[in-house]
Chains A and B, each alone.
Chain A
Amino acid sequence: MGYVTGLKCRECGRDYAVEPVYVCEFCFGPLEVVYDYKGIKKVLTKKNIEKREQNLWRYKELLPIDGEPQVGLESGCTPLLKAENLAKELGVNELYIKDDTVVHPTLSFKDRVVAVALTKAKEFGFDTVACASTGNLAQAVSAHGARAGFKRFIFIPATLEPSKIVASLVYEPNLLAVDGSYDDVNRLCSEIANKYKWAFVNINIRPFYAEGSKTQGFEIAEQLGWKAPDNIVVPCASGSLLTKIWKSFKEFKEIGIIKELPTKLFGAQATGCSPIAAAMKQGTDVIRPVKPDTVAKSLAIGNPADGFYALQAMRESGGYAEDVSDREIIDAIKLLAKTEGVFAETAGGVTLACAKKLIETGKISRDESIVLCITGNGLKTQEALSGHMASVHHIKANLASFEDVLKGLKT
């Protein structure tokens, strides 16, 4: 099996063979996987998909592997929740939450991309996987890599918060805490990637790794009864997820799985790091880099290299981009939790707060279907909420003390 015909530079169109390369040697543009859609159309039908196991590999013909899936066999197929309480709160008719706070095994959409990246790393014959990260990616590579039997090298800045270190270290990777800033970690990893023949998931495996994000879009379309939503709000850091969700809907249309593509794509950013939203609002396709300053650290990319493509996708679909303050992000995290019982990390707060704004300003119509992509679990970024929570009621161990409190509560 395998329907990948090669790699192609998105900028200059030069062709490359399927190898662990990530950047066009000529113009430095990103390389994109090319598929044989005619061949895929013959085998990947709704019926065939429905017969398969409930995991992200049920769309395997549209993922960049040659053999059978080897990693992440329990990942993906997260719930698409019909959010009726939140819909009422926002004054809209049909609202869904794509709940990637519960992807196996590390509770963020990074489990999708790493499942694909590590399967590809096995196909390429690597025995060691690596990444530079301070968060979700470190955990996903550590966990998936452990189960798949890889040697793992995870590079983090030495100053990382203890809770984040524990969440990676528990899987016993080789965790390298580098003296210096994240920037220094990156520069070091670049040299290591050149010298050692390892699968750096977000460097030399990147064209394959990024394709894993499409599974979120495939699942949404399937869960909506094989149709694409009218509106989808996606958090943007590099802009890669939004770009890949657009690609997933287009591919489903290309192979005849969905008939219509009415979807408008909306990018969500924190105002403290909103180069994509700023370019959208200014009507330009030139992204001006910024220095991030926001509580939403997983989205804090000041220089989003897929920003150009994300803008293109939003404009092509008739969508828009919005940005929100840290305060709005925190409020949205709490709103999502208290209406739908979903505890999202800060990126989820960005998505909901931007959706709210887009609805209020009429960019998203109240009577159309809306999907919010919630990409990671709030247990990972609990410190973001400190000082913003309702307080607990301290009582003595007797009924009178309890009833004193009860009297003061609004019921």
Chain B
Amino acid sequence: MAVKVKIPSPLQRLTEGKEEVEGKPGTVIGLLNDLEAKFPGIGERLSEGGKIRRFVNIYVNEEDIRFLKAEQTEVKDGDEVSIVPAIAGGCEPPREGVANLLFVENH
């Protein structure tokens, strides 16, 4: 059992249309680098110089990695990693977990 990585639709062209792929346990940044080896092009879209791009949100088991150890957050077998475009905006606070910013009540 590997790490489950959920791929957002804009990137599914690079994953042969797959919505979910397997990732390598270790750190988040290590996992992204490993994805780049399997699906060339995906890594540079998500990170630059070892840092996650400003408009990319990454969740490990539904927790924003910026509340964890950011790029160095550990991921292990069975964990679920979600990659979400942080399109401008936000929402009222969810009752649990972090605000997911795909949808917006923005001012």
Contact = CB atoms under 8 A, between A and B. Distances in A.
A203 B103 contact: yes
A301 B55 contact: no
Range for the number of chain B residues in contact with chain A: 35 or more
Interface string B79-102: 000000111111111111111111
A181 B95 contact: yes
Contact of A181 (B53, B96, B103): B96
B106 to A, nearest CB: 4
B106 A301 contact: yes
Contact of A298 (B54, B88, B103, B107): B107
A299 interface: yes
Given A11-B54, A240-B89, A305-B87, A189 B101 contact: no
Contacts of A137: 104-105
A203 B91 CA distance: 12
A202 B95 contact: no
Contact of A210 (B56, B88, B97, B98): B88
B54 A181 contact: no
Given A25-B10, A187-B100, A301-B101, A236 B107 contact: yes
A190 interface: yes
Contacts of A60: none
A133 interface: yes
Interface string A142-163: 0000000000000001010000
Given A289-B98, A298-B92, A133 B103 contact: yes
A203 B90 CA distance: 11
A136 B88 contact: no
Contact of A238 (B45, B53, B107): B107
A242 B11 CA distance: 31
Given A241-B106, A241-B107, A300-B93, A291 B98 contact: yes
A206 B92 contact: no
A30 B93 contact: no
Contacts of A236: 107
Contact of B104 (A27, A202, A292): A202
A46 interface: no
Contacts of B57: 303
Contacts of A206: 87-89, 104
A22 interface: yes
Interface in A163-211: 181-187, 189-190, 194, 202-203, 206, 210
A308 B54 contact: yes
13 contacts: A132-B103, A134-B92, A182-B92, A187-B100, A202-B89, A273-B93, A288-B66, A289-B64, A289-B66, A293-B93, A298-B107, A306-B106, A308-B54
Given A182-B91, A301-B90, A301-B105, 11 more contacts: A11-B54, A135-B92, A181-B97, A183-B99, A187-B100, A236-B107, A240-B106, A291-B98, A292-B93, A300-B99, A301-B99
For the complex of A and B, the 9 pairs showing the least CB-CB separation, nearest first, are A301-B90, A238-B106, A183-B94, A182-B94, A181-B94, A132-B103, A28-B55, A237-B107, A306-B88
Interface of B: 9-10, 45, 53-57, 62, 64, 66-67, 85-107
Interface of A: 11, 22-30, 109, 131-137, 157, 159, 181-187, 189-190, 194, 202-203, 206, 210, 234-242, 273, 288-289, 291-293, 297-306, 308-309, 347, 375
